[in-house]
Amino acid sequence: MKTIITLAFLIFSNLVYCQTGNISIDYFGQTPPDTIPLIFAPGIICLDNRFEARGAFSPDGRLFYFTITNGDFTFQKILFCEYLNNKWTEPDTANFSKTFNNHEPFFSYDSQKLFFTTDRDRRTKENTRDLFFVNKLRKGWSEPVKLDTPINSGYTEYFFSQSKNGTIYFASNRPGGYGVFDIYFIKPDNGKYEKLNNIGSIINYGYAADPCIAPDESYLVFTSARKIDADNVDLYVSLNTNGVWSEPVNMGNLINTKANEYSPFFSPDGKYLFFVRHDGINGDIYWINTSIINKFKSK
């Protein structure tokens, strides 16, 4: 089976944006948060005896895929739950995630593809992670397919994110960047993905990764260590005005702590921002109302 596809074919159906504003999602029976972050679904998704990381709801809110990992990130699997008969199924390992390390799922807007990061291609010493996707089948998912160049390279690529107009964002440590890891983006041009862009030194300073782009690309939430000697990473937000990104702003002590905060992702209805807090002992998914973003937009 051919495992690399041309970007002319890549996610063309993704450009069809599902209108999700009116969907009703059962968030595992949880009371939604306001502006104070809460652990997401404790005892159901977030367990005391494991570390959880980036997740993704399907656009209709009836599937939830999420990452589990150990403390040093050497073991990573993607689990999933499905909302059937008015209740969620127990978490189970995704069929494409039973071998290799797999993490950071992201649904296409038409729900027909699921993107993720994996270490299954180990042809070069520098290439420890790549971006792959699986296609939705009548039952389950296809075999994983590797994204073509210029997205993947001989170096590490991870944390796929995409706006509703098809622009892809991800992080990489390929040569020529501004920091240890940089955020890159690539826009579709007549159905093709050919010209890769570094998002620029305003955002890419020190360490910048885990890009979570707003569906309309009006802002970017990402993980960063802005100081060279920083001992943890925080979440930052940058606003986009006609393609010009503002100076990133730390999202403040309601979200950021002395622990590491990373792996942001949005609910499909746009109401909630999820992220991971990892203090070396515990690693859980938290969620908070996206109204917190408005205070940065008003500045």
Structural domain includes residue 3? no
Measured distance CA(19)–CA(14) in Å, rounded: 13
Structural domain includes residue 208? yes
Structural domain includes residue 40? yes
Measured distance CA(252)–CA(226) in Å, rounded: 14
- Predicted TM-score (pTM) of this structure: 0.92
Spatial contact of 64 and 55, defined as CB atoms under 8 Å apart? yes
Structural domain includes residue 111? yes
Average pLDDT value for residue range 134-145 = 96
Task: Indicate which CATH number applies to the domain containing 291.
Answer: 2.120.10.30
Q: What is the pLDDT of residue 91?
A: 97
Neighbours of 175 (CB within 10 A): 9
Structural domain includes residue 5? no
Per-residue pLDDT tens over the stretch 152-165: 999 999 999 999 99
Measured distance CA(144)–CA(134) in Å, rounded: 5
Per-residue pLDDT tens over the stretch 245-267: 999 999 999 999 999 999 999 99
238 is written with which tokens?
């940058």
Q: What average pLDDT does the structure give for the chain?
A: 91
Structural domain includes residue 243? yes
Residue 147's domain spans which residues?
Answer: 12-297
Structural domain includes residue 31? yes
First-to-last C-alpha distance (Å) of the chain: 52
Number of domains in the chain: 1
Average pLDDT value for residue range 227-249 = 90
